[in-house]
Structure 1
């Protein structure tokens, strides 16, 4: 049975399960408009998840076939996964920020072999051991995996502009960091319970009540630009705090108030982490060696293979921030490259 919650003011949420994932579910928001329901995110592309979404919409007095539009906070499969099925059922439009839409198109067009060879090269450069890299040299990703053929969005979310939701005021706020095209969505309407603050904020994965979102690298096999996703994230956190929404409606866990306080916690967390990593870099380390020494939610030897790749990306994102701040630098001539504190 789908779990549905009424947030008031024509906004409900449906808990759509994520298979075999500790997050448990994605909160898909159903926003009433003058032309029918609009979804904020859709959930994971899985038959049970689809059934739950459909049950949840029925509990809201509607159905997948009646959805007017889909607004995607970011391209990850637990958010964008079911968008294609919703569009097939209803003819709904799908809107996404251009930076994440580009990732979707690249995912659809890049052959698996190209992706795996790119990942192998990245991990080699990060100092990963051969035993970790070897599976990528022979890997073949089946096209049946969720996220491999995501729906191509047909509308662009433009930062600062109101979305086309008849009868509602929903403004896009660009919040890069978790992904390059992540957006939060500011519902510029009085809070239905008259909580103090400026409307409500659909925060996607940018701002969660108890979890620090993953900040990795923006991967593109054909782009050599050195990005600073952690710097992007910290700047866009402050942008959200200045909105002072009355309530935050995130994509995971539960709704909460006092966004500025949560932003302060996250800024403090990352500053503390950068300070800790700066201390570890008293001795030159590769990104892999740094990741092995960083604090995670479990010991390094218990972190599964795929999660280690995510951890390496997060270590590199923090290293790039330290380099940009002038607090660390690459050791000239090191191979694989090591970094040392300045």
Structure 2
């Protein structure tokens, strides 16, 4: 067990972090409560892999976030199942924290072997997206010369024929397995129906993308009338109540310090809100594209390429949150500073 910088969190997945730093897949590991951690590779992604979890119950195995659908990914999942003494036919059910392809992709193959698939009902809309990506970009002042390159990236998390759910899990629902207590915690923000899972006997919280040890999940405005950042910040408070548990995230490595990590993420978004207000005051009446291009990102705006779609959506989420609180005004076309009172 190694303490992270500032002792804010404690890294418990030491081998996972070493693998992350070495840019290789971490090992398959058996964890508390007989849970298995299985890395499933993501092709051509800086995230590199999804940490899928195998949870044995009295009536079979439950797989959490089986990972990206590829032959390499399927082989990795099968290898993890073999390490746990199982095969795909032993999988009773699949629970996806959300329906992005790096989580939900292999659900279809497991469903075809007889497993049920479960998710939160708010993820159903994402399985059948409507509207044109180009129109979405055009509506937010993206220059025409950028649209052709970026429109295709909006669908990078979408599956052509995703597994439909057999089971819908609301907040507080128990996953339908025998001999284990696995409870749903609805944590919207990254997606409308994102969920975490509490397993109190094993002392763990499976956090999906909601709580990662090193990076913040993308919080983007996708549906009119929603405020995903507000939902995400409220969800952080909800998971912080489980501070006594070990966090099992879907990427990077395991850790303790759930409340501390929630505070870090809250502070990150507070700083981003302050930066956006200051940038709007400097620019006057920017559109969302112009505003996003002037903010601080992990790399310079000119170098982030397809990530600009996520940057625009995340900028919109923060603008919506700030406009709801009177810190900015947003006409839908341009953003302006709030009138001085």
- TM-score, shorter chain, exceeding 0.5: yes
The structure showing larger relative contact order (alpha-carbon pairs under 8 Å, at least 6 residues apart) is: 2
Does residue 43 of the first structure (1) align with residue 79 of the second (2)? no
SS in 1 for 2:47: coil
Counterpart in 1 of 2:293?
292
Report the count of equivalent residues: 312
Partners of 1:140 and 1:122 lie apart in 2 by: 12
Contact residue 169 and residue 175 of structure 2 kept, 8 A: yes
2:119 is aligned to 96
Change over 3 Å in CA distance of 1:4–1:285 after alignment to 2:
same
The counterpart of 1:200, out of the listed 201, 204, 219, is: 204
- Tell me, yes or no, if the aligned pair for 2:62 and 2:93 is still in contact at 8 Å: yes
Cα separation, 2, equivalents of 1:174 and 1:125: 30
The answer to whether structure 1 residue 337 and structure 2 residue 336 are counterparts is no
Secondary structure at 2:76's aligned position in 1? helix
2-structure distance, mates of 1:146, 1:231:
24
Which whole-Å CA distance do the structure 1 matches of 2:153 and 2:251 have between them?
31
Q: Deviations over 1:90-140 (max 9, x none)?
A: x01100000102321x14xx5xxxx43xx2222222111111124579x79
CA distance in structure 2 between the aligned counterparts of 1:156 and 1:207, rounded to whole angstroms: 22
Q: Residues 3 and 56 of structure 1 are in contact (CA less than 8 Å); yes or no, is this contact kept in structure 2?
A: no
1:200-255 per-position Cα deviation (integer Å, ceiling 9, x unaligned): 10000000000100001234xxxxx4110011000001111012242000000111
Q: 1:326: which partner in 2?
A: 326
1:294-309 map, 5 Å = 294-304=295-305, 306-309=306-309
Distance in 1 (CA, whole Å) between partners of 2:221 and 2:150 is: 19
The Cα of 1:258 is off from its aligned counterpart by: 1.2
Residue 52 (structure 1) shift: 0.8
The alignment status of 1:274 with 2:273, answered yes or no, reads: yes
**Cα root mean square deviation, aligned:** 2.2
Match of 2:191 among 179, 186, 196: 179
Residues 102 and 157 in structure 2, CA contact (< 8 A), matched pair in contact too: no
Alpha-carbon deviation of 1:146?
A: 6.4
Structure 2 match to 1:228: 227
Aligned mate of 1:72, from 92, 96, 101:
96
Matching residue of 2:136: 122
Name the TM-score, length of structure 1 as normaliser: 0.86
1:2 and 1:64 map into 2 onto residues whose CA distance is 21
Secondary structure of the 1:311 match is helix
CA separation of 1:45/1:135 partners in 2, compared to 1, >3 Å: closer, same or farther?
Answer: same
Distance 1:307 1:2 in 2: 26
CA contact (8 A) 1:180 1:218 kept: no
Counterpart for residue 244 of structure 1: 243
TM (normalized to structure 2)?
0.87
Q: Residues 145 and 328 from structure 1, CA distance in 2 versus in 1: closer, same or farther, beyond 3 angstroms?
A: closer
Q: d(CA) in 2 for partners of 1:328 and 1:146?
A: 32
- Residues 264-291 of structure 1: CA distance to partner in whole angstroms, max 9, x if unpaired? 0000010011001100011211100111
1:132 pairs with 2:146 = yes
Contact 2:243/2:257 (8 A) holds in 1: yes
* Cα displacement string for residues 302-321 of structure 1 (whole angstroms, at most 9, x for unaligned residues): 111x3111111111111101
Alignment partner, residue 222 of structure 1: none
CA contact (8 A) 2:153 2:309 kept: no
> How far has the Cα of 1:168 moved from its partner?
0.6
Asked if 1:158 is matched to 2:157, the reply is: no
Q: Mind listing any 5+ residue stretches in structure 1 that lack a counterpart? A: 192-198, 220-224
User: 2: distance between equivalents of 1:141 and 1:307?
Assistant: 10
Q: Offset of 1:2 from its aligned partner?
A: 8.3
Post-superposition offset of 1:47: 0.9
Q: In the alignment, is residue 170 of structure 1 matched against residue 175 of structure 2?
A: no
